[in-house]
């Protein structure tokens, strides 16, 4: 967070959920990775106009912003009222390189960067947990029933093993390999997907509940595969998680097609990442060369954008 007296800045980054999405809402563990290739910066400056916002998505008065940006107004009101500060004339400038609504944690990252910038503007310093309280609040507005994982990973330097209600653990991914991340180009529907899983648990408990528990077991298996540097088991575990997510109805045709393409191209495993119903998928590859060849096939299959993310361990020689 670098700020001058005239401008106050907050920064955060995107995330990739390696495994455990959706189940994490119901107390199962999940593993998330900070995705620094996609970042966001919010700069707050004093102006002589009422509160304005400048972003790729919308520029103008905050009071007239589309409802998707409501969470910023709520955060602004809440922080001003909690700390008895007057909201005067400010411009909120958002520069985001995180594709919105793609399961990459864009909203949590914008909230985190905004809260940091606003606290700096008000000259308030808070502990991380208090900061997260505000980000969780905005995630509740956006997603209804968030687990809290997105809020925590967008400001974390390390991958996290997270279970709702527990202290999150750093989980260094000392494992060989590469993740290929591909964007379907379709906006995901996290809040609807989360709501539909809740509905499935209510109406079809005997089917949905074992799927949630199974994803939890797969996450524990992925964690031990990471400890054992066993990329092959990790790959198979990711693919199994995709099958369970599919049965929970949070995948869609584009995601399934990209998963299939990645597996046919030699990925060790592949799955959707984040909320699903659009957004992004990930594929695990043994080497950069393999990752590039998978990436090429995903782009040919219609992926809108791709990234290659290196995990931490030594490369495998094939």
Measured CA distances, 274 to 13, 49, 67 (Å) = 15, 38, 22
Among all residues, which ones are annotated catalytic? 150
Instruction: Copy the structure tokens of residue 184.
Output: 């379907």
**Window 135 to 154, contacts with ligand MEV (CB under 6 A):** 143, 146-147, 149-150
Among 190, 239, 252, 306, the residue binding ligand MEV under the rule CB under 6 A is 190
Q: Which residues pair with 92 in a beta bridge?
A: 44, 53
Is there a contact between 16 and 112 (Cβ–Cβ < 8 Å)?
no
Distance CA 146, CA 137 (A): 9
Contacts of 236 by beta carbon, 8 Å cutoff, 6+ apart: 268, 269
State in angstroms the smallest separation of the CB of 103 from ligand MEV.
6
Among 312, 39, 68, 55, which Cα is nearest to 154's? 39
Distance CA 158, CA 34 (A): 6
Among 12, 194, 270, 311, the residue binding ligand MEV under the rule CB under 6 A is 194
**Window 262 to 281, contacts with ligand MEV (CB under 6 A):** 274-275
State in angstroms the smallest separation of the CB of 20 from ligand MEV.
7
Q: Which is nearer to ligand MEV, 120 or 190 (CB)?
A: 190
Q: How many residues sit close enough to ligand MEV to count as binding (CB under 6 A)?
A: 15
State in angstroms the smallest separation of the CB of 129 from ligand MEV.
18
Task: Name the closest residue to ligand MEV (Cβ).
Answer: 147
Binding site for ligand MEV (CB under 6 A): 17, 21-22, 24-25, 103, 143, 146-147, 149-150, 190, 194, 274-275
């Amino acid at each position: 967070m670098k700020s001058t007296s005239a401008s106050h800045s907050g920064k955060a980054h995107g995330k990739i959920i390696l495994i455990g999405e959706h189940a994490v809402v119901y107390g199962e563990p999940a593993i998330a990775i900070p995705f620094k290739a996609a970042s966001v910066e919010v700069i707050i400056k004093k102006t002589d106009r009422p509160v304005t916002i400048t972003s790729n998505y919308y520029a103008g008065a905050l009071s007239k912003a589309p409802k998707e940006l409501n969470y910023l107004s709520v955060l602004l009101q809440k922080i001003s009222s909690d700390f008895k500060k007057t909201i005067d004339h400010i411009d909120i400038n958002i520069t985001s390189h995180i594709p919105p609504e793609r399961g990459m944690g864009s909203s949590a990252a914008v909230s985190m960067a905004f809260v940091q910038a606003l606290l700096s503007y008000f000259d308030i310093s808070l502990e991380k947990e208090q900061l997260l309280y505000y980000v969780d609040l905005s995630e509740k507005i956006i997603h209804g029933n968030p687990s809290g994982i997105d809020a925590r990973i967008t400001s974390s330097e390390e991958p996290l093993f997270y279970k709702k209600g527990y202290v999150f653990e750093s989980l260094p991914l000392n494992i060989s390999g590469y993740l290929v991340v591909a964007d379907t180009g379709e906006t995901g529907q996290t809040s609807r997907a989360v709501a539909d899983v809740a509905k499935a648990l209510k109406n079809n408990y005997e089917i949905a509940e074992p799927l949630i528990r199974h994803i939890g077991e797969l996450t524990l298996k992925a964690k031990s595969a990471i400890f054992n540097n066993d990329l092959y088991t990790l790959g198979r575990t990711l693919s199994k998680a995709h099958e369970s997510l599919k049965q929970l109805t949070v995948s869609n045709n584009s995601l399934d097609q990209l998963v299939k393409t990645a597996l046919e191209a030699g990925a060790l495993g592949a799955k959707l990442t984040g909320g699903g119903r659009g957004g992004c998928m990930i594929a695990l590859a043994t080497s950069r060369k393999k990752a590039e060849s998978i990436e090429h096939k995903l782009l040919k299959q219609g992926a809108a954008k791709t990234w290659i993310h290196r995990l931490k361990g030594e490369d495998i020689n094939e």
